[in-house]
Amino acid sequence: MWKYFALLLIGLASALSFLYFRVGVPKIYREPALATTPLHFYDNPQKPISRINVTAVYFVPSDKQTEQIDNWRELLEENLSKLQKFHELQFQGYSRLTYKIYEQPIIGEKESIFYDTDNTNKGNPEALRTTAAEIEKRLLSAGGDLWNDKFSSQLPEADYQPLIILYEGVGASGAVGEPAVLISRRYFTELEYQQENTTTLAHEFYHTLGIPDGYQEKIQEGYGLQIEKLTTSDIMGLGRQGPLERTYLGSQTLQRFGLE
């Protein structure tokens, strides 16, 4: 009996030694990646992203001034700082993100119905389009009523200069490949969004670098129910539904930016 047990232990030890030395120790971490050429937009080597500088603003439609908050700058600073750290961690320092916040709220020329229209579905993309166009005209173009030589001259040189709009309204939207993001102020002040507020900002920001959603929305026939078909588990898919500290950009996605 003991002889049989000893032989069994010897056989088990031999098998484990073979697995360790011949097959190898399983890797439970992602090894540091390398960028042999400058990083670029998702699937677009012609558009570099080694240096990204974000311009961030707080936009208030003219009829929403009574809802305007005082600590908007602190909210932007806190969440842009988190985005900055997340970005540099995911891209391992090969792409650097900086940001500058415009010093005062931008009061819209129009009321909210103009920016939102009567349909705010799909994240309110109409508000993204209309507010971004107005900011470009008034703040980012010489001759605009909000043009500020000092502010503009302090914007660092960058390969890519997207716009992030903290919006006194509803929605969160970022179009694939377009240089602007809109996110409702409510994401940072209302309890129901606290677990995923910065994650939502980052998710929409990465659309501007060309990454598509990692999920597909469909309507269930016969029931009218909207369901999701997940295609990735990272921040563009399932991982967008939680804190930024617990999500990531997938390795296959990073490869399409040039990070091998």
Report yes or no on 239 lying in a domain.
no
Task: Specify the DSSP class assigned to residue 169.
Answer: S
Residue 25 lies in a domain: no
Rounded distance between C-alpha atoms, residue 89 and residue 71, angstroms? 28
Whole-structure pTM value? 0.83
Which of 170, 162, 214 is closest to 190 using CA atoms? 170
Give me the domain span that covers residue 207: 39-213
Per-residue tens of pLDDT for the chain, all 260 residues:
545 445 444 554 554 444 333 333 333 334 566 666 899 999 999 999 999 999 999 999 999 999 999 999 999 999 999 999 999 999 999 999 999 999 999 999 999 999 997 777 778 999 999 999 999 999 999 999 999 888 877 777 899 999 999 999 999 999 999 999 999 999 999 999 999 999 999 999 999 999 999 987 665 555 555 556 788 999 999 999 999 999 999 999 999 999 98
For 81-122, the three-class secondary structure string (H helix, E strand, C coil) is HHHHHHHHHHCCCCCEEEEEECCCCEECCCCHHHHHCCCCCC
CATH number, domain at 100?
3.40.390
The DSSP output letter for 23 is I
In a domain, 34, yes or no: no
CA dihedral sign, ordered 203, 206, 208, 213: negative
Residue 78 in any domain: the answer is yes
Q: 223 in a domain, yes or no?
A: no
Total domains in the chain come to: 1
Q: Does residue 128 contact residue 174 with C-beta atoms inside 8 Å?
A: yes
Q: Is residue 7 part of a domain?
A: no
Is 192 inside any structural domain?
yes
* Domain-located, residue 10: no
Q: What distance in Å separates the CA atoms of residue 175 and residue 162, rounded to the nearest whole number?
A: 12
